[in-house]
Amino acid sequence: MSEEITREVFDHLVDLAALELTEEQAEYLRRQLNNQLKAIHELEAIPIDRDVAISLHGVPFEEAESAPPRQDEWIKYPDPQEIMGQAPQVEDGYIVVPDIPHTELK
């Protein structure tokens, strides 16, 4: 398989990822992505039975070694203002952002 991430697909990914790039960055990143894709294609050469299970993580979490889900309890944070103080723009206890774009649904 020799697919390549075309400029068109790349630009679409950049938009989805909420990034914007200079021309120089775009060229470097697209070249690196395509090089990585060559390495990833090695996976296709491995004979894998369809029924080989996927692993979401390596170590199995048996019940005996996993904590039970904790109670869904509200724990008061001692100083919410400290956390709000990290927000770039705050007004009257609200986080302020630029206009949220709206699209008319047809």
Binding residues (CB under 8 A) for another protein: these are 5, 9-10, 13-14, 16-21, 25, 28-29, 32-33, 35-36, 38-44, 46, 48, 52-59, 61, 64-67, 69-70, 82-83, 86-89, 95, 97-101
The least distance separating another protein from the CB of residue 28, rounded to whole angstroms, comes to 7
**Closest C-alpha to 14, from 28, 31, 32, 26:** 26
In the complex with another protein, the residue whose CB is nearer, 48 or 105, is 48
**β 94-95/90-91 pair status:** antiparallel
The least distance separating another protein from the CB of residue 106, rounded to whole angstroms, comes to 20
Going through the chain in order, the beta strands assigned E by DSSP cover 90-91, 94-95
In the complex with another protein, the residue whose CB is nearer, 64 or 105, is 64
> For residues 31 and 16, what is the distance between their CA atoms, to the nearest angstrom?
19
In the chain, what's the furthest Cα-to-Cα distance?
60
The least distance separating another protein from the CB of residue 70, rounded to whole angstroms, comes to 6
